[in-house]
Amino acid sequence: MTHKLTLWPSGEVLDVSGEENLFAQLKKSGKKIKSSCGGCASCGDCVIIVKSGEDHLSPPGFEELRLLGNVFHITKERLSCQLKITGDVTIDISAHEKKPISVGPVEKKPAVVVRKKSEIEEKAAQVAAEPPKKQDEWFKHWEKPEDNIGKTKQLGGNKRPKPFKSDSEN
């Protein structure tokens, strides 16, 4: 007996039988469903979202509960490799149909950049013309100018810890 399977958001309707799992039937119809394990319920990649017709689906098995948990009543997610259809159902497979976005032709940069002598001289002249940057204040901060000789900065180190007082000592 065949049942109607509506694919969301495209609205395409497929005739499927209840003897075979949904993953195999979608593959036969030419739909691309992600799966690392090939339909053995060990990866969880073939997840689909049930939009309507939850009553016309086979109950989740041990393998499906192990991967997705028992929150399928809330999330409406099921594994297509473990799912058999017994009536008319609408599912969302849009997560499996996403294609990579291409912005345009990708320009490959050469591995070795060859510069002309004039370009190097221009860059050197620009660097030489820039005002010198202020040196980092923390660079060799222990070497202070002569005016600070004799003044030691208290940084809180080399102090003995104070003994801990408990309630019984008071």
Domain range annotation of the chain: 2-96
The CATH superfamily assigned to 2-96 is Beta-grasp domain (3.10.20.30)
77-79: strand order across its sheet? 13-17, 2-8, 89-92, 47-52, 77-79
With 80 as the cut, is the pLDDT of residue 112 above it? no
With 70 as the cut, is the pLDDT of residue 29 above it? yes
Helix (H, G, I), strand (E, B) or coil at 121: helix
- pLDDT tier, 51 (very low <50, low <70, confident <90, very high otherwise): very high
pTM tops 0.85, yes or no: no
SS3 content of the chain, % helix, strand, coil (to 5): 25, 15, 60
Of the candidates 58, 73, 72, the one whose C-alpha atom is nearest the C-alpha of residue 19 is 58
- pLDDT tier, 39 (very low <50, low <70, confident <90, very high otherwise): confident
The answer to whether 54 touches 76, Cβ cutoff 8 Å, is yes
pLDDT at 17: 87
Alpha helical stretches, state H, the chain: 22-28, 62-68, 72-75, 117-129
Does residue 139 or residue 95 have the better pLDDT?
Answer: 95
The answer to whether 91 touches 5, Cβ cutoff 8 Å, is yes
pLDDT mean over 107-130: 81
